[in-house]
Chains A and B, each alone.
Chain A
Amino acid sequence: MTLTREELGRYSRHLSLSEFGIIGQEKLKAAKVVVIGAGGLGSPALLYLAAAGVGTLGIVDFDKVDISNLQRQVLFTNEDIGQSKAAVATQRLAALNPQITIQSHDVEINASNVMDILSSYDIVIDGCDRFVTRYLVNDACVLLHKPLVSAAIHRFEGQALTYVPDQGPCYRCLFPEPPAGDLVPNCATAGVLGVLPGVMGTIQATEAIKLITGIGEVLNGRLLTYDALEMRFATFEFKRRSDCAVCGDSPTITVPAEQLVACATPDDDTSISIAELQALLTQASTRKLQLIDVRDPHEYTLGHLPSAINIPLALLDTQWNSLDRNKLTIFICRSGMRSQQACQLAVQHGLTSAVNVSGGLQQWNDTVDVSRRCII
């Protein structure tokens, strides 16, 4: 795939690299890369791959731009709030480099479409924010023999690795199973340093460019970790597992499936639905119940339910004596994750009448307060 005169100018700094040259740039032009998630990781990865001249870029994201994304998702601006991420990203990348083709997939990737979407690309970059998707994409890449550049972030820490088919271990060889649902919170719950995905997404783009051009060494069989607080990078070698469920000698996963991430206490008798909460708030006197919002103070200040008292999860251990044990204690948070932990702690501390609101304020906003007065 030869370069046009304009492309020779655009990519002149690449062409000056002896390891790269015209052949390397032509390989980039011929390459098709898909990025799962146009979020914190996907934003820098897409921007750099578009700028570098990857000929076809796929964007998979079904989400809309939220104001809380703008602290790290550098593809988007204030004007994009409420717009489709895939659509905005397509426009932004086309403006950056009109000489590449961008394919937008404004869908939620799942077991029924993952093979179709990934099969038309050469390389997959995973920037998703859920374990279910992370394992699904890994399994599909192994089954399709597609290289995968995977990365993940949490607060101040990032990880990256590259799967090269038939040449090294996959993500499942490193971490065979996801953790229980409440053990590793996502960015929304745990927070994340805005620049962290910038570093990790850029590493993903670098890995993809090396895979395409065949230069350097990729993170095949190596986990790279980055600790922004310590400013420390480290790599750890790991091997293919012969008993890996997807790439092992006798695989049990032969078609992609969405693996359920087990929760320590799934919907059980300590969880109530939004409808049940609404009924309780309408019918029961506050003399009979206490609603505890366990989000952090800055989240509570942005908006909360009228009768909710703010006790952040981290401070609960110092506040048990302030809770009335004769009342029904209802814990609520953003998504239901922190409130579930609070509920477990409450039971351990002898509050036998404690429940958490499944789905949290996110679901309250989606089903009850659609005008979203309670900002989350």
Chain B
Amino acid sequence: MKTNICTVHVASPLRSYTKGATKVIAKGASLQEVLADLDQQFPGMRFRMIDEQNHIREHIRLSINTQMTNDLMHPLKSGDVLHLICALSGG
């Protein structure tokens, strides 16, 4: 079975999980699977984005390439870029 590999751009407030890495690689055929893989690599990271009801948190947006989505079943293909976007407060 083919494994889809995508690049994930990590929002600044989530980089504490990736040891400061601004982008990482994750595998999965859907957004759900990619987030699960991220959590496997960086424990606790998924919960910062997805709540107990499996909804994307209100201060987080996920964008596949340039298209924002709320659908965790959204398919991903190899070469896609997932952007993890987080509301910022600094000024």
Contacts and interface: CB of A to CB of B under 8 A. Distances in A.
Contacts of A131: 87, 89
B59 A178 contact: yes
Contact of A40 (B9, B22, B85, B91): B91
Contact of A129 (B12, B61, B90): B90
Contacts of B67: 237
A197 interface: yes
Which 8 residue pairs are nearest across A and B when measured between Cβ atoms?
Answer: A177-B58, A157-B12, A129-B91, A152-B88, A179-B59, A175-B87, A187-B90, A154-B88
B17 to A, nearest CB: 12
Band of interface residues on A: 35 or more
Interface stretch (A46-54, A84-92, A226-234, A270-278): A226-234
A184 B88 CA distance: 7
A183 B90 contact: no
Contacts of A156: 12
Q: Which of A42, A154, A238 has the most CB of B within 10 A?
A: A154
Q: Which of B13, B15, B16 has the most CB of A within 10 A?
A: B13
Interface in B43-61: 48, 57-59, 61
B22 A152 contact: no
B56 to A, nearest CB: 10
Contacts of B89: 129-131, 134, 152, 154, 178, 184, 186
A120 to B, nearest CB: 22
B29 interface: no
Given A155-B15, A187-B91, 14 more contacts: A40-B91, A41-B91, A129-B89, A175-B58, A175-B59, A178-B59, A179-B57, A179-B86, A184-B88, A192-B90, A197-B91, A227-B22, A230-B23, A238-B68
Nearest to B61: A174
B3 interface: no
B91 A127 contact: yes
Contact of A176 (B12, B58, B91): B58
A128 interface: yes
A12 interface: no
A37 B89 CA distance: 12
Interface string A167-197: 0000000111111000111110010100001
Interface in B1-46: 9, 11-13, 15-16, 22-23
Given A223-B85, A227-B22, A237-B68, A153 B63 contact: no
Contacts of B59: 175, 177-179, 183-184
A39 interface: yes
B89 to A, nearest CB: 5
B91 A42 contact: yes
A127 B88 CA distance: 12
A154 B16 CA distance: 13
Contacts of A238: 61, 68
Q: Which of B9, B13, B85, B88 has the most CB of A within 10 A?
A: B88
Contacts of A37: 91
B84 to A, nearest CB: 11
Contacts of A127: 91
A336 B25 CA distance: 34
Contact of A230 (B11, B22, B66, B91): B22
A92 B22 CA distance: 38
A159 B85 CA distance: 10
B88 to A, nearest CB: 4
